[in-house]
Amino acid sequence: MKIILINIGGYKKKKIINFRVVPTPHNVDIIAQTVEGCLLEWRIDQLCTLTVDNASCNDTAISTLKRKFNKRNGLLLEGKMFHVRCFAHILKLIVNDGIDEVSDFIIKIHEAVKYVRSSPSRYQCFKKCAEVEKITSERTVCLDVPTRWNSTYIMLGASLEYQKAFEQLEEQDLTFAKGAPFEKDWLYGKNLHKFLDRFYIVTNRILRSKYVTSNSYFQEVTGIQTLLRKCSKNENVFFSNMGKKMILKFEKYYNIDKINILLIIAVVLDPRYKLGFVKFCVAKFCSDTKVEELIGKIRDVDER
């Protein structure tokens, strides 16, 4: 089942105008027709952008909608900036690639949590271990969901607070001890949780629905890029490989040639940043030629 949510957002305001199940089969034409039908039903014939996740069928559906609305002169700049990729979804893809690269120690911690949560008696024994270690955290250990990286982040955070309880249980329960995480697993888990903290904060920031986020988007993107480059140079081979894999996914969607110019213009229009800030950020990762090429595209939009 595929569901399309149509909403209009603004400063401290959000209006959901349609929520519709897409009929099967979920092909390109059906998706495009459903979105078009929602908009025309509400007499919306002028569009600026459309934000979608990164399914390939959405790319084609965007092209279909662009063609239809261009015939009605309903798109800004003939729809050249119509397609906006969901940043939260791209972050999910990037982080999932990274987690796959270092999944071994995550699985060890996952199995430890699964063991103590598998029965009430085991969990009670675990709680006694926490009391012995004088752990006062109000959080509870919970399992992650493989398809949701933020649940892995939450699982790691809670488990790390109870690390001493797990180690205490290892001394008391021989069955648990056979598969318990090693010291290095906890250390890697701690480092990964710290690394994912930035992604978790950024995701929560950009998903706010009642605040303008377009002007902060570019800063968030370049911040993530800096973090990934730093990770790729980590002395630990696990984390350097993870960073390199994540950079490949990042650059698939965010490079100087593919980024939506409208989202950079939003930064230029912010009096705190302006064009100088864009130059400063882009110069960290691109040649002078690419920087000037980007500035030229921005000025070209301004002239139009």
Q: What would the two tokens of residue 172 be?
A: 């008391």
Look at 174 and 30; give whichever has higher pLDDT. Answer: 174
- pLDDT of 8 higher than 80: no
Query: Quick one: pLDDT at residue 14?
Result: 63
Nearest Cα neighbor of 143 from 104, 112, 177, 122 is: 112
- pLDDT of 21 higher than 60: yes
- pLDDT of 1 higher than 80: no
- pLDDT of 228 higher than 60: yes
Q: What would the two tokens of residue 176 be?
A: 């648990």
Query: Quick one: pLDDT at residue 304?
Result: 60
Number of neighbours of residue 148 by Cβ within 10 angstroms: 12
Mean pLDDT check: name the lowest of 5-9, 65-69, 209-213: 5-9
Q: Are 173 and 223 in contact (CB under 8 A)?
A: no
Residues near 123 by Cβ (< 8 Å), separated by ≥ 6?
116, 117
35-68, pLDDT tens digit by residue? Answer: 888 888 888 888 888 888 887 888 888 888 888 8
Give the residue extent of every domain in the chain: 2-85, 87-254, 255-304
Average pLDDT over residues 158-177: 94
Identify the band that residue 222 occupies on the pLDDT scale cut at 50, 70 and 90. Answer: confident
Of these ranges, 25-39, 74-88, 92-106, 208-222, the one predicted with the greatest mean pLDDT is 92-106
Look at 224 and 17; give whichever has higher pLDDT. Answer: 224
For residues 130 and 168, give the distance between their C-alpha atoms in angstroms, rounded to a whole number.
8
- pLDDT of 280 higher than 80: yes
- pLDDT of 161 higher than 90: yes
Query: Quick one: pLDDT at residue 56?
Result: 80
For residue 271, cis peptide bond before it (omega within 30 degrees of 0):
no
- pLDDT of 232 higher than 80: yes
The mean pLDDT of the chain is: 85
For residues 285 and 299, give the distance between their C-alpha atoms in angstroms, rounded to a whole number.
21
pTM above 0.85, yes or no: no
Q: Are 281 and 226 in contact (CB under 8 A)?
A: no
Residues near 227 by Cβ (< 8 Å), separated by ≥ 6?
195, 198
Q: What would the two tokens of residue 18 be?
A: 């349609």
Length of the chain: 304
Partners of 20 in the beta sheet? 4
Mean pLDDT check: name the lowest of 11-15, 146-150, 235-239, 263-267: 11-15
Q: What would the two tokens of residue 236 be?
A: 């630990």
Average pLDDT over residues 288-293: 85
